[in-house]
Amino acid sequence: MTYRKIHLYDAFGFKESAKFEPGSAISPPVISGEYRFGIMICYDLRFPEMARILALEGANILVAPAGWVQGDLKVDHWQTMIKARALENGCYLIAPGQTGNIYIGHSMIVDPLGRSLVDLDAEEGLEVVELNLALVQETREKLPLLKNRRADVYARSPNAKLP
């Protein structure tokens, strides 16, 4: 499998598009037994549509490795978006964060209810966490956000093209 980062980081004074080309398609989830991993990279996390598409394609775990650059409120942005993507899709989100130099670290694992299971702060480290896929199923049954979507209504908006 090849993954191409979809959203280039052209923000906060950086311009990845000066050096890189964006991917042109969202890669389908990687399947390993019951685990279905939807992959995003760094800045992709800021686009909820991408996480939603991966969840609709069957992802029960989203993985978003990042070199999240330090700056005003950047740790808050990182933590909030990780929790939001997990909550709005009823899945786990694993977010390894690069440490040192200009990066914030804060590798995290969040469960489908938005609870932080791991936050390594700015430190390097390794945590082993058992992911309970029954919690994904239970969450998606009790809070059926994927089923209750109104794609028919969204499709009528001239500014939104969600599947």
pLDDT above 70 (res 135): yes
pLDDT above 70 (res 162): no
Q: pLDDT of 30-81, one tens digit each?
A: 999 999 999 999 999 999 999 999 999 999 999 999 999 999 999 999 999 9
Q: What is the mean pLDDT of the chain?
A: 94
The pTM score is 0.93
pLDDT above 60 (res 147): yes
DSSP string, 41-106: -GGGGG-HHHHHHHHHTT-SEEE--B-PBP-TTHHHHHHHHHHHHHHHHTSEEEE-B--STTB---
Domains defined along the chain, listed by start = 16-123+130-155 (3.60.110.10)
